[in-house]
């Protein structure tokens, strides 16, 4: 059976056009971008051209784009780099209870290892942040506010520019946003958002795994994260992943021409699934994602009503997998954890309901027939 892949928020398949561009950089074009001879210079030019392309795409300057190994490293770079620069000066960070695990775990580390005070903002049942609560949380000791632009499990989009406005009114507070899920799903301009730091990842936009980006606004004070070399303007040591950067360049190029159609496609699939869920399963399901511009077009989080159903997500995922359908029970970065999703707990679900939830995420290569097959199989399992 052909795989019906509905877990594009975990990772997207590499677009064949991206793979084609990468192949030469895995064979003949193997030079180190830091080398002065021809193959090295060719790699350096490609890396800098990619930096230029992505900077233009998100409204940044090329000198503000830094390559990393992925979204997790970019988040660690942003949070630890800012915190270490402020040690002994400011000791307070504000984030939310629904951040990605790479942010939550880093916050726990900064608290336990360095004694930094962390405030976790609460959200409503869809993951929307209360910005009045944010204002109340800011103190003279606040060094950093880190709030994701869109949530990887719920799809909710938060108005990060509200955060920037509040931070700028009060003082020199650095604002970071995890924008990994937003890239390619909404239009992004980091200048308009007023943020200082933003994290991105290649493998969420049909590019290769192992490549991330951190936007660092010019003038932002942040410590070096990876030591050992002068790469990335002495901010992140290590030889650049040239094949992945070449693939990312093609993925961004494709977004420039196809993103509008992609978004329309995602919204169509999401609406089709929501309508089918209501028709076929009715009060057996609860939706944790909006079906409008308040939420990403490609993510739908579903809880199976414990009053009408009795199935846990792990059992459901196994049964779907037997039918060659791939969805997830939450973030892929917490896969295998025995704990229920911290995101679903944060929006008010108890352990049982949180464990009875799945995330469906649509991609460029999904078809309407994928939705129909998923609903058919799901109905057979639930009933």
Catalytic sites, residue numbers: 333
Report the C-alpha gap between 177 and 199 in whole angstroms. 7
Compute the distance between CA of residue 13 and CA of residue 16 in angstroms, rounded to an integer: 9
Listed in sequence order, the DSSP H helices in 59-205 are: 71-86, 101-114, 131-137, 160-170, 190-193
CA–CA distances in Å: residue 149 to residues 88, 162, 176, 342: 29, 11, 9, 18
**How many CB atoms neighbour CB 25 within 10 A?**
20
Residues 305 and 283 sit within 8 Å (Cβ to Cβ): yes
Tell me how crowded residue 321 is: count the other CB atoms within 10 A of its CB. Answer: 12
Q: Which of 239, 220, 218 lies closest to 69, judged by CA?
A: 239
Distance CA 171, CA 310 (A): 51
**Between β-strands 65-68 and 212-216, what pairing exists: parallel, antiparallel or unpaired?**
antiparallel
């Amino acid at each position: 059976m052909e795989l019906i892949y509905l877990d594009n928020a975990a990772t997207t398949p590499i677009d064949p056009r991206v793979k084609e561009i990468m192949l030469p950089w895995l064979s003949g074009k193997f030079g180190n971008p830091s080398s002065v001879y021809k193959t090295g210079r060719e790699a350096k030019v490609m890396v800098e051209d990619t930096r230029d392309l992505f900077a233009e795409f998100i409204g940044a300057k090329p000198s503000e784009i830094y390559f990393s190994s992925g979204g997790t490293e970019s988040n660690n770079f942003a949070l630890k780099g800012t915190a270490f620069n402020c040690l002994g000066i400011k000791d307070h960070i504000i984030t939310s209870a629904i951040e990605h695990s790479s942010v939550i775990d880093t916050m726990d580390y900064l608290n336990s290892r360095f004694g930094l005070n962390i405030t976790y903002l609460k959200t409503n049942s869809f993951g929307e942040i209360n910005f009045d609560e944010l204002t109340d949380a800011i103190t003279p000791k606040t060094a950093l506010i880190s709030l994701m632009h869109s949530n990887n499990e719920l799809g909710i989009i938060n108005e990060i520019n509200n955060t920037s406005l509040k931070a700028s009114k009060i003082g020199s507070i650095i604002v970071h946003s995890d924008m990994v899920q937003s890239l390619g799903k909404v239009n992004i301009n980091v200048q308009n958002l007023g943020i200082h730091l933003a994290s991105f990842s290649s493998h969420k936009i049909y590019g290769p795994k192992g490549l991330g980006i951190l936007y660092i606004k010019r003038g932002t004070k942040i410590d070096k994260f990876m030591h050992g070399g002068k790469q990335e303007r002495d901010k992140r040591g290590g030889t650049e992943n040239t094949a992945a950067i070449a693939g990312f360049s093609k993925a961004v190029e494709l977004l420039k021409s196809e993103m509008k159609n992609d978004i329309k496609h995602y919204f169509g699939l999401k609406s089709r699934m929501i309508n089918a869920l209501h028709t076929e399963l009715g009060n057996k399901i609860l939706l944790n994602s909006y079906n409008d511009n308040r939420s990403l077009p490609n993510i739908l989080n579903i809880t199976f009503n414990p009053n009408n159903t009795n199935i846990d997500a792990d059992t459901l995922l196994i049964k779907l997998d037997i039918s060659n359908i791939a969805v997830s029970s939450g973030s892929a970065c917490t896969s295998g954890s025995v704990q229920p999703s911290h995101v679903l707990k944060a929006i008010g679900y108890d352990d049982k309901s949180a464990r009875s939830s799945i995330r469906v995420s649509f991609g460029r290569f999904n078809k309407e027939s994928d939705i129909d097959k998923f609903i058919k199989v799901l109905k057979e399992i639930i009933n």
